[in-house]
Structure 1
Amino acid sequence: MNNDSGDDAVWQTALDWLMREHEKTLSDADREVFQAWLADSPQHRRVFHEAEQLWLLTGLIPRSDERS
């Protein structure tokens, strides 16, 4: 994981989306905003994936196939 870009706002937004996604089911409107954010920049997708991998590795969130 590499956050050399110094763009802490992108990292924080990725973490916010990750937490929201796993704390509750996103509404259709929220999911559209999230998908638009991911599509807005390759960096957004990369940082979100890194955040998700970090959480998976630490055991803080279950894998998608383990969620009910």
Structure 2
Amino acid sequence: MDNDSGDDAVWQTALDWLMREHDQTLSETDREALHAWLAASSQHRRVFHEAEQLWLLTGMIPRSDERG
């Protein structure tokens, strides 16, 4: 997982979205905002995916088939 882009703000935003998504049920407005953020940049999608994989590897979030 390479974060050499120097864009810590994107990494932090991805982590924030990931934590919000897994700590609570996102409202429809929040879900639309997340999808818009992901659609805005391939970097956003890549970093979000990297963050999600890191969390899965560390066991911090359940796999999608384990979520209620």
TM-score with structure 1 length normalisation?
0.99
Matching residue of 1:43 = 43
- Within-5 A mapping of 1:1-68: 1-68=1-68
Structure 2: which amino acid aligns with 1:60?
M
Q: How far, CA to CA, are the matches of 2:14 and 2:32 in structure 1?
A: 15
Gaps of 5+ in 1: none
The structural deviation recorded for 1:18 is 0.2
Runs of at least 4 residues off by over 3 Å: none
**Percent of pairs identical after alignment?**
82
3-state DSSP of counterpart to 1:60: coil
Q: How far, CA to CA, are the matches of 2:41 and 2:67 in structure 1?
A: 28
3-state DSSP of counterpart to 1:18: helix
Number of equivalenced pairs: 68
